[in-house]
Amino acid sequence: MTGAALVTGASRGIGRAIALRLAKDGYDVAINDLVSQQNELERLRAEIMELGKASSIFIANVSVEKEVESMISAVVDQMGTLDVPESKVSISASFLSQIKSRTQYDLATPMLSGYSSTKFAVRGLTQAAAIELAKYKITVNAYAPGAVDTLMIEDIRQTVKERGVQKELNISESGGSSFPLGRDTTPDEIAGLVSYLVSKDAAMVTGMEPSLLNHYP
């Protein structure tokens, strides 16, 4: 595979795994994150280049539209093309702030309504974009990673522990029998799914949101 990919939130966790997997698949990879993650991005770029692929760092806040527009233009100008824009956004900051702001945190609380509603919005946006961009032969897909073994999950567990919750938050165990595989998904497993979605084998897959939730609904 030849071409260029852009991976946002690439400094660690899922984004980092995806960037490395796409490089192994043959893509040159532009990597993005906040300026605070510059050192991690530098290390990732070195790893990608060791795989024989080109890589450039683009600092931008993906929650700011103008910064995203400038980044996309810069990627195309520098790399000559952009075949795979991949966005990975985490919720650790907002989730942790909710935990820290409460005098009590109940592990039995099953829903965060605001967070859950945004996930359904992503699904709708994916389907609409897939229809709108089909005439350009562009496929648009999302993926639902569920609980992934990353530093974000460890941060959440540590914060819960610091709040004095007796039972440590264990993503897999807290679901009981709803987690039949008994473990979190790994970043490399998410990267494998993304690798398929951007491959020729998935040329007719669009508007989809495959899940690696490792649990029953």
Active site residues: 115, 119
7 pairs with which residues across the strands? 31, 86
The sign of the torsion formed by the CA atoms of 90, 217, 119, 31 equals: positive
Nearest to 105 by CA among 116, 97, 113: 97
Tokens 């690798």, residue located: 195
C-alpha to C-alpha distances, 65 to 9, 72, 93, nearest whole angstrom: 15, 11, 20
DSSP state letter for 207: S
